[in-house]
């Protein structure tokens, strides 16, 4: 039983003994004591004042006295109005460091490989454009949530669904046929995904011109959008694709091949990967089979024009299209097929979709239709809905070519990291190859931390300049803290004064040491809570609080210069424990921490 549970249990006993109050331990909430007050954990006693029939201060004094008398790990307490602050004994904290200090996996649970897998889908790009800043948040969040769930013991499978078919793909294909003059990644020197994205923008430019001309001839705007020759031809191309037209399929395979090579390079630079990649072109047929099943069951209905729908008005929604009148499928069709395929392949315990909040409605519909089709596991579908990423100058639009390209952003971040490292003298003792690696991990650390420290549900404003500062709530600040600690531990090891796991030491803790240890102690609960909330932000902000606590300790407390050998050895062991905790938490975020800077 950990200290919080033990303390809670004793408080429950105190309430029963002193006031005959039966308080469920789950309802007794302990908070970390605010830094301006003395103590480690705080109990708010106001909920018990009425039944105790005493003033808040009196209730707090009596509970505090009872707990101190009955729990040796509590060394003292103080009362501030209705707030009871408990002080944990040095011996408890010292035993904790002695027991866990050498455990490099402290805070992490062992993965239960026999448990039903949690399948996490993220990335899900379209093969008509390169990855951009919005995709970066998706990929980093999906990867980090997967790491977080694994750190909490879940058996995680990371999957990607590539949207490799549909009208958007046909737009790029048609524009390349019309305006490409046979251009290839090799002839242009462009990454394949960038080249295909170029023609998606080209399609939109020419399409808008056709719509404008039709409107000038008197056609209403909505009709003009449907009748524009380019759009009509793109729809015809999609139909040919679904019919297996060899020329259309050959062009599709060639251009998608360019895109996949480009995606793989971007994924490598971002440091993300997948256990399995699905392709919409391979799952939409299963979706069509489910649509037919729904028609046979009477769950779905066909309109006079041949299109197939699901009536969700009884569920407070509307009617949802599943097959167009020409028989071609929509996103929902393939998502039905993919969900069934994943559930059957993995025996999934949960299916988590990391998708932006503009798709909230889509996933409500997906769960409802799966349920109506008779799949009891529909409730295991969970949409991890996250907010959009915006820039200081507003939103991005792929079709207009106003996105922040992922590759360009990573390169720019690496250049900025190099400049700032030189300014701060972080490169002095490193070879050129070591410098390049350092600049890359600092750039990715800055990018990932800045994005992941924000609660997933919130929209965020990305500012590259703020993200890469070596001070403040940034990835590089935590990375530098880790490197500083490793330097201390190396020097201690070179002097032969310390080795990990050499038992409990009898020292008197100062306030800064207690704060560091208290923060370390909260790591397992933080990871568990973050996994339950699917929130890497909780882990990111924990890492920052730990780095802050360590730096405050480091500035005020001698470590290698400490004259008492026993105290010096303890402080080095505490440093090593902090370094391990920072490495583990940053690893959950997908961030590498340097050994030296």
pLDDT (tens digit per residue) in 424-456: 776 667 788 888 999 999 999 999 999 999 999
pLDDT at 503 over 70: no
Taking alpha carbons only, the member of 388, 381, 288 closest to residue 334 is 288
280 vs 268: which has the higher pLDDT: 268
Identify the band that residue 399 occupies on the pLDDT scale cut at 50, 70 and 90. very low
C-alpha span between 377 and 374 (Å, rounded): 9
pLDDT at 400 over 80: no
Taking alpha carbons only, the member of 185, 223, 218, 181 closest to residue 202 is 181
Angle CA(330)–CA(335)–CA(341) in degrees, nearest 5? Answer: 135
| CB of 108 closer than 8 Å to CB of 151 | yes
Rounded mean pLDDT of 80-86? 94
Which residues, other chains included, contact 238 with Cβ-Cβ below 8 Å and sequence gap of 6+? 166, 167, 170, 328
Q: What percent of the chain has pLDDT over 70?
A: 95
C-alpha span between 411 and 436 (Å, rounded): 12
432 vs 353: which has the higher pLDDT: 353
Helix, strand, coil percent values for the chain (each to nearest 5): 60, 10, 30
Specify the 3-state DSSP secondary structure of 421.
helix
Which residues, other chains included, contact 487 with Cβ-Cβ below 8 Å and sequence gap of 6+? 596
38 vs 1: which has the higher pLDDT: 38
pLDDT at 396 over 50: no
| CB of 96 closer than 8 Å to CB of 574 | no
pLDDT at 271 over 80: yes
Distances (CA, A) of 153 to 98, 116, 146: 24, 12, 11
Count CB atoms within 10 A of the CB of residue 594. Answer: 19
Rounded mean pLDDT of 213-224? 94
Q: Mean pLDDT lowest for which of 171-175, 405-409, 539-543?
A: 405-409
How much is the pLDDT for 403? 67
Q: Mean pLDDT lowest for which of 227-231, 294-298, 499-503?
A: 499-503
Rounded mean pLDDT of 204-215? 95
Average pLDDT, whole number, for the chain? 91
* Pair of tokens at residue 555: 């500035």
Look up residue 405 and give its DSSP letter: B
Residue 403, CA atoms < 13 Å, CB-side half-sphere: 23
| Domains within the chain, CATH numbers bracketed | 3-88 (3.30.1360.70), 166-273 (no CATH), 416-588 (1.10.730.10)
Burial of 311 (0-12, 13-18, 19+ CB in 10 A): middle
Rounded mean pLDDT of 241-262? 95
How much is the pLDDT for 505? 64
**What is the DSSP secondary-structure string of 290-349?**
HHHHHHHHTSEEE-TTS-EEEE-GGGTS-EEEEE-TTS-B-HHHHHHHHHHHHHHHHT-S
| CB of 548 closer than 8 Å to CB of 578 | no
* Pair of tokens at residue 34: 């605010």
pLDDT at 397 over 50: no
Identify the band that residue 288 occupies on the pLDDT scale cut at 50, 70 and 90. very high
pLDDT (tens digit per residue) in 129-156: 899 888 999 999 999 999 999 999 999 9
* pTM of the predicted protein model: 0.89
| CB of 572 closer than 8 Å to CB of 488 | yes
430 vs 230: which has the higher pLDDT: 230
How much is the pLDDT for 447? 93
Which residues, other chains included, contact 560 with Cβ-Cβ below 8 Å and sequence gap of 6+? 488, 491, 492, 495, 568, 572
Rounded mean pLDDT of 49-53? 93
C-alpha span between 265 and 578 (Å, rounded): 34
* Pair of tokens at residue 36: 């301006």
How much is the pLDDT for 24? 81
Identify the band that residue 504 occupies on the pLDDT scale cut at 50, 70 and 90. low
Q: Which residue has the tokens 């729908």?
A: 309
């Amino acid at each position: 039983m950990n200290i919080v549970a033990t303390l809670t249990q004793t408080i429950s006993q105190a309430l029963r003994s002193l006031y005959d109050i039966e308080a469920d331990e789950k309802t007794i909430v302990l908070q970390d004591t605010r830094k301006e007050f003395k103590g480690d954990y705080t109990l708010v006693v106001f909920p018990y004042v009425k039944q105790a029939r005493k003033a808040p201060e009196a209730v707090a004094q009596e509970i505090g006295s009872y707990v101190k008398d009955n729990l040796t790990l509590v060394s003292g307490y103080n009362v501030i109005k209705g707030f009871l602050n408990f002080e944990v004994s040095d011996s408890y904290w010292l035993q904790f460091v002695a027991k866990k200090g050498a455990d490099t996996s402290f805070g992490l649970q062992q993965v239960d490989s026999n448990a039903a897998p949690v399948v996490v889908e993220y990335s899900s790009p379209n093969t008509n454009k390169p990855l951009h800043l919005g995709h970066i948040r998706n990929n980093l969040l999906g990867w980090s949530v997967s790491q977080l769930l694994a750190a909490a013991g879940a058996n995680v499978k990371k999957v990607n669904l590539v949207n490799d078919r549909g009208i958007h793909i046909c737009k790029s294909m048609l524009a390349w046929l019309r305006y490409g003059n046979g251009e290839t990644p090799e002839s242009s020197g462009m990454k394949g995904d960038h080249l295909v994205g170029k023609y998606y923008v080209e399609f939109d430019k020419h399409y808008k011109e056709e719509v404008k001309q039709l409107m000038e001839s008197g056609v209403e705007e909505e009709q003009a959008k449907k009748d524009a020759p380019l759009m009509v031809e793109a729809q015809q191309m999609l139909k040919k694709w679904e019919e297996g037209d060899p020329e259309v399929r050959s062009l599709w395979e060639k251009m998608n091949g360019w895109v996949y090579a480009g995606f793989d390079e971007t994924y490598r630079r971002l440091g993300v990967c997948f256990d399995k990649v699905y392709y919409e072109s391979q799952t939409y047929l299963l979706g069509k089979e489910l649509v037919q099943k729904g028609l046979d069951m009477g769950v779905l209905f066909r309109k006079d024009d041949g299109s197939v729908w699901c009536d969700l008005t009884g569920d407070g929604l509307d009617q949802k299209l599943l097959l167009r009148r020409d028989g071609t499928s929509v996103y929902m069709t393939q998502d039905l097929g993919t969900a069934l395929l994943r559930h059957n392949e993995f025996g999934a315990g949960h299916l988590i979709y990391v998708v932006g909040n503009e798709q909230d409605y889509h996933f409500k519909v997906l769960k409802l239709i799966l349920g109506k089709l008779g799949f009891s596991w529909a409730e295991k579908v969970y949409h991890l809905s996250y907010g959009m990423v915006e820039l200081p100058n507003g939103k991005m639009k792929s079709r207009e070519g106003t996105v922040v390209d992922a590759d360009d952003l990573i390169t720019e971040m690496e250049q900025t990291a190099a400049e700032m490292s030189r300014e701060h003298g972080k490169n002095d003792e490193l070879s050129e190859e070591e410098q390049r690696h350092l600049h890359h991990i600092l750039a990715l650390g800055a990018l990932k931390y800045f994005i992941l420290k924000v609660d997933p549900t919130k929209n965020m404003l990305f500012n590259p300049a703020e993200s890469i500062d070596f001070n403040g709530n940034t990835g590089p600040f935590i990375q530098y803290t880790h490197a500083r600690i490793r330097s201390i531990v190396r020097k201690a090891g070179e002097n032969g004064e310390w080795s990990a796991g050499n038992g409990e030491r009898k020292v008197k803790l100062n306030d800064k040491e207690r704060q560091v240890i208290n923060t370390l102690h909260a790591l397992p609960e933080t990871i568990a809570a973050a996994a339950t909330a699917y929130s890497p932000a909780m882990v990111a902000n924990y890492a920052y609080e730990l780095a802050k606590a360590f730096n405050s300790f480091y500035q005020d407390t001698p470590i290698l210069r400490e004259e008492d050998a026993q105290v010096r050895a303890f402080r080095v062991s505490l440093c090593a424990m902090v370094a391990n905790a920072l490495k583990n938490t940053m690893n959950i975020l997908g961030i590498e921490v340097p050994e030296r800077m």
